[in-house]
Structure 1
Amino acid sequence: MDDLIPKRMFFTKGVGFHRNQLQSFEIALRDAGIEICNLVTVSSIFPPDCKIISREEGLKHLKPGQITFVVMAREATNEPNRLVAAAIGLAQPKDKKQYGYISEHHGFGTTNKKAADFAEDLAATMLASTLGIELDIDSAWDERKKMYVADKNRQFVSRSIAQTAEGHKDGLWTTVVACAVMLLD
């Protein structure tokens, strides 16, 4: 069963427009580069010692029909000009031997930066709670160090990816996706 622990992970995002909602989602997956896979959504634990690689490197390892595990945020609208957002956040202890936490956020009316920041804050808060730590994200964030500092022994680094789009002006379905793609090899 150790083979089911991801060794590498990458982030990707995409947007799609189409008159059919499902096809809009498919186009968003194409934009993200992961449409050739059979995606299985999983929850939120980032494995210890898992290496984060670039999207470009990660896409090279995907094969048509491959079962691929992802943490996915997805949102859609067919309302013209309605802002949709999808974001993935990751918080992990500075000690890479410990596990981290991945969060997904999706919604309406939020900017790319706000969606990304919210996903990171959510991941950090959830990681802290699994470790039995109360984390006030406003006071724990160290802007200079670009990390959350729960106490001197517990520091979390974070990152995120977000995709936003305005609903198509002609009422086509607009779908956004953001994913953390896990690779087992």
Structure 2
Amino acid sequence: PPEIAGCEHGFVFLSSILHAHVGELFSGMTVRGCYQFRVTRNSELFVDEEEVKNLREALQGELPHRHFGDAVRLEVSYNCTPAMTGFLQQQLGLAAREVFSVNGPVNLVRLMQVPDQVDRPELKYLPFRAGLLKVLHEHSDIFRAIREGDILLHHPFQSFTPVVDFVRQAAQDPDVVA
């Protein structure tokens, strides 16, 4: 709320609130440390392409088991003790090269939601609009434009529309052999 944040749009990580009140969560106990960590697991799906008749069903069967994959990376907050880091590393079966100390929040992916929560257009980039080459503006017939010279499209900077037009015109042209 603005009364607490001191501004209209204030955000606080849930982990910061938990960290500040960890003693209340575990009342009657001695809290010796509170550290953030994040485990990244192998999310490889094992689907035998030879035996699969319905890929959708096979994926639906595999997806629920993804969170049981082997740990491949551990991120710990910079203030995590070596003992706790070592304990987590050992429990997850990770090598030292797979453990990363992070100075700040360990899961910045959640920040991707912030722009959608704040209605401040002046802080946002305008939507990207792919361009169209001048030669393609001048010709409605893509084949004629190609006869006049090579056309190089650099996606996503140039529009994909000429590619769609090319396929559409080729499909309708009786002189084009598939």
Instruction: Give me the TM-score of the superposition, normalised by structure 2.
Output: 0.22
Larger RCO of the pair (alpha carbons < 8 Å, separation 6+): 1
Whose radius of gyration is greater, 1 or 2?
2
Instruction: Give me the TM-score of the superposition, normalised by structure 1.
Output: 0.21
